[in-house]
């Protein structure tokens, strides 16, 4: 059935997959600003970098683009995707990413020294270490403090490791706590991913369809895009979910245009969207 679906819309692959495939990255203003800031901040080599975005706004995709964009000759990247770890677990996960020798034999109180030695070796080889933490809002307070202590590791001229935090807004709530003020002061670059407006949603849909192989006239008509914008609130993940379901509805009807009513059906079938104004319920 998938093959029939792709042939029907002249696609090489599914355009609205939720996987963080950087081939589908859309360089829209908010994401462009965040990425430019990230590359500049990493190049500066100082402080902690923070990217905040609501659920589904594309943080993980931006994170993957950053990791892919770092020159292997100049940078060594460590990536922690699930940081709901206590301080010892966090240091062990980092040590594993850094390929600390004989990690299994190290006691908990030896981890910091081992990490420091490994970072110094990278520095001697002219490699800068970037620790990227996704879903950083899951970090316990004690682990946030452990990150601050890790950023203390330095030579006379440079930090041994830079930290990039990708998180939902809950991280800002944590950082506003008095006992975490020292780490908050070390955040030198901060940016927020914004939801997409109507024009950006058009670009988002067209770009993803084009990357998937489509080169015909617009599949989504204007009414469909406007309702999609209203229901998704401009959140890329929700846009992709609704678009994928809307295309399936159009396919089942043998129609090569997605209409407003098809988007309505897709929205009503999406539990993560609670959008029921009266005029929407009466939509045909």
State the pLDDT at residue 279: 55
* CB burial readout 59-80, b (16+ within 10 A) else e: bbbbbbbbbeebeeeebbbbbb
- Based on the domain organization, do 68 and 155 belong to the same domain? yes
Model confidence pLDDT, tens digit, residues 90-127:
999 999 999 999 999 999 999 999 999 999 999 999 99
The answer to the question of residue 158 being in a domain is yes
- Based on the domain organization, do 230 and 99 belong to the same domain? no
Q: Which residues pair with 189 in a beta bridge?
A: 49
C-alpha angle with apex 110: 153 to 89, nearest 5 degrees? 85
Residue finishing a domain among 173, 192, 211:
192
- Based on the domain organization, do 42 and 144 belong to the same domain? yes
Regions of the chain short of the pLDDT cut 70: 275-284
Among 156, 81, 164, 89, which Cα is nearest to 130's?
164
State the pLDDT at residue 257: 97
- Based on the domain organization, do 215 and 256 belong to the same domain? yes
We report the CATH number of the domain holding residue 116 as 3.40.50.300
State the pLDDT at residue 212: 97
- Based on the domain organization, do 251 and 144 belong to the same domain? no
Q: How far apart are CA 180 and CA 161, in angstroms?
A: 20
- Based on the domain organization, do 176 and 204 belong to the same domain? no
Residue finishing a domain among 192, 215, 235:
192
The answer to the question of residue 250 being in a domain is yes
- Based on the domain organization, do 36 and 159 belong to the same domain? yes
Structure tokens at 172: 């800002």
State the pLDDT at residue 283: 47
Q: How far apart are CA 284 and CA 265, in angstroms?
A: 10
The answer to the question of residue 283 being in a domain is no
Q: Cα dist. 13→24, 26, 71 in Å? A: 12, 17, 29
We report the CATH number of the domain holding residue 261 as 1.10.8.60
Per the CB < 8 A criterion, the answer to whether 126 and 156 are in contact is no
Could you list the residue range(s) of the whole structural domain that residue 218 is in? 2-19+196-276
- Based on the domain organization, do 50 and 126 belong to the same domain? yes
């Amino acid at each position: 059935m998938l093959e029939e679906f792709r042939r029907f819309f002249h696609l090489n692959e599914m355009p609205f997959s939720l996987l963080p495939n950087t081939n589908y990255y859309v360089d829209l203003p908010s994401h462009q600003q965040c990425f430019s800031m990230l590359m500049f901040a990493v190049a500066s080599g100082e402080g902690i970098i923070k990217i905040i975005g609501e659920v589904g706004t594309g943080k993980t995709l931006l994170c993957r683009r950053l990791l892919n964009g770092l020159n292997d000759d100049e940078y060594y990247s460590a990536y922690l995707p699930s940081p709901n770890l206590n301080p010892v677990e966090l240091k062990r996960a980092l040590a594993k990413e850094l390929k600390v020798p004989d990690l299994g034999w190290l006691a908990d109180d030896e981890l910091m020294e081992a990490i420091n030695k490994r970072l110094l070796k990278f520095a001697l080889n002219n490699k800068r270490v970037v620790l990227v933490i996704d879903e950083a809002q899951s970090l316990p307070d004690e682990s946030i403090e452990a990150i601050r202590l890790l950023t203390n590791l330095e030579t006379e001229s440079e930090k041994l490791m830079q930290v990039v935090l990708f998180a939902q807004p809950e991280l800002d709530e944590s950082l506003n706590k008095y006992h975490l003020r020292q780490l908050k002061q070390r955040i030198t670059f901060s940016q927020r991913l914004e939801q997409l407006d109507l024009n950006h949603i058009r670009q988002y849909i067209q770009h993803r369809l084009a990357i998937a192989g489509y080169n015909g006239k617009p599949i989504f008509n204007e009414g469909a895009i406007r309702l999609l914008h209203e229901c998704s609130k401009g959140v890329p993940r929700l846009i992709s979910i609704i678009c994928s379901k809307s295309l399936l509805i159009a396919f089942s009807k043998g129609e090569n245009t997605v209409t407003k009513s098809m988007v309505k059906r897709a929205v009503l079938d999406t539990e993560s969207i609670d959008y029921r104004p009266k005029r929407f319920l009466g939509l045909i």
